[in-house]
Amino acid sequence: MSEDSAPPIWVDADACPKPVKEILYRACQRHRRPLILVANMPLNTPQSPWISTLQVEAGVDVADNAIAERVQAGELVISADIPLAADVVAKGALCLNPRGTLYTRDNIHHFLSMRNLFDELRSSEEIRGGPKPFSHKDRMAFANQLEKVLRR
């Protein structure tokens, strides 16, 4: 694939950890891939012909919906939102979680089922709390998986 036709990387940027964004900034430069960060607030990004932002209105799932509407088969989305990942995968794209989990047609139903189960358990107060803090191990897992995906 030529540089001019390299598919973009879409980022659900509202909740994306800063270290992941920094990895993405370097990777898009190195691989000459467009990077589009979608958020409901202005973002401060490095100046680069490969990096752009799409600011959407504030609201629940507005950024997710903007990505789901625009993503095309063969593109990559960075998001921890599993329902968005399911929409992306249904369109023939890939979704990479900021902790390094790659969502594909083969595994998205498992992750969606687990997410729904945990939502039920949280709403019934059988479990409390959210995900563990983002760690150096998570950052490395993300960087390694991103490189694998971009080298395909």
Answer whether 10's CB lies under 8 Å from 26's CB: no
- Ordered by where they begin, the domains of the chain are 3-151 (3.40.50)
Band of the pLDDT at 5, cuts 50, 70, 90? Answer: confident
Whole-prediction pTM value?
Answer: 0.88
Q: For 93-125, what is each residue's pLDDT tens digit?
A: 999 999 999 999 999 988 887 866 667 666 777
Residue 152's pLDDT is 86
